[in-house]
């Protein structure tokens, strides 16, 4: 069975998107080694995203570049779940499956579809919920050399519990992007 992975590129000051879900800063990220994006995308069968990110991507379609207009810069194909309390509003979009359920149910359903490939969470809020239930098997982090100053923080949970991670791998193909893979330390 594949893993449930939370993967992202973040700014040096800990944001995964800028204000209004702005992704233009991603152009400052160090390029990955040839074939790295395709390799990562090939391991992912299902992406779980949130409604706010989906809405922002739709609204910014004409503004986003080739890197940010589609998952993995367009190298990925698979099933995308959008968690929303209003799934009927997305019924016209054949590219996504809108689901109104808790994060456990979404992850269970995604794992069934993914089989031996991975489920990728691309929403900070959904990842936070998944971490509350110990559903994340792996954390994939890349860092872009930019301070955003505002936006959506990687993990912002006032009063939340501490979660410790252990280093599993360093992305040696693209060392300038500071790519790291972690897994949760057992509690």
Between CA 139 and CA 171 the distance in angstroms is 13
pLDDT band at residue 69 under the 50/70/90 scheme? low
Q: What does the pLDDT average to over 116-131?
A: 95
**Cα 107 versus chain centre, distance:** 14
pLDDT of residue 70: 64
Q: What is the pLDDT of residue 112?
A: 96
User: Per-residue pLDDT tens for 13-66?
Assistant: 999 999 988 888 888 887 778 888 889 889 999 999 999 888 887 777 777 666
Q: What is residue 54's predicted lDDT score, i.e. its pLDDT? A: 83
pLDDT at 57: 76
Which of 117, 105, 100 is closest to 39 using CA atoms?
117
Q: How far apart are CA 9 and CA 27, in angstroms?
A: 11
- Say what percent of the chain tops pLDDT 70: 95
d(CA 91, CA 87): 7
Q: For the chain, list the domains and their CATH numbers.
A: 4-184 (3.40.430.10)
Show the tokens assigned to 133.
């239930």
DSSP characters over 52-68? HHHHHHHHTTTT--TTT
Q: Does the pLDDT of residue 92 top 70, yes or no?
A: yes
Segment 173-185 shows an average pLDDT of: 85
- Predicted TM-score (pTM) of this structure: 0.89
Range list of H helices, the chain: 36-42, 51-59, 103-114, 124-132
Whole-number Å distance between alpha carbons of 92 and 125:
25
From CA 54, how far away is CA 183, in angstroms rounded?
Answer: 27
Least confidently predicted of 16-20, 39-43, 113-117, 175-179: 175-179
Window from 26-35, 47-56, 149-158, 176-185 with minimum mean pLDDT: 26-35
Exposure string over 17-31, b if 16+ CB within 10 A, otherwise e: bbeebbbebbeebee
Position 107 scores a pLDDT of 97
> Residue 60 has what pLDDT?
73
């Amino acid at each position: 069975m594949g893993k449930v992975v939370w993967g992202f590129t973040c700014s040096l000051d800990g944001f995964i998107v800028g204000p209004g879900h702005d992704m233009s800063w991603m152009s400052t990220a160090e390029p990955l080694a040839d074939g790295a994006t395709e390799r990562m995308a090939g391991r992912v069968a299902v992406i779980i995203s949130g409604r706010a990110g989906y809405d922002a991507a739709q609204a910014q379609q004409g503004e986003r570049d080739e890197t940010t207009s589609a998952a993995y810069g367009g190298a990925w194909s698979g099933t995308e779940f959008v968690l929303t309390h209003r799934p009927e509003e997305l019924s016209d979009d054949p590219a996504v499956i809108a689901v109104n359920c808790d994060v456990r149910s979404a992850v269970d359903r995604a794992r069934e579809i993914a089989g031996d490939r991975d489920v990728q969470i691309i929403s900070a809020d959904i990842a936070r919920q998944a971490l509350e239930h110990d559903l994340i098997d792996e954390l994939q982090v890349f860092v872009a050399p930019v301070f955003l100053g505002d936006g959506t923080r990687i993990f912002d949970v006032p009063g939340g519990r501490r979660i410790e991670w252990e280093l599993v791998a360093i992305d040696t193909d693209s060392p300038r992007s500071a790519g790291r893979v972690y897994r949760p330390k057992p509690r």
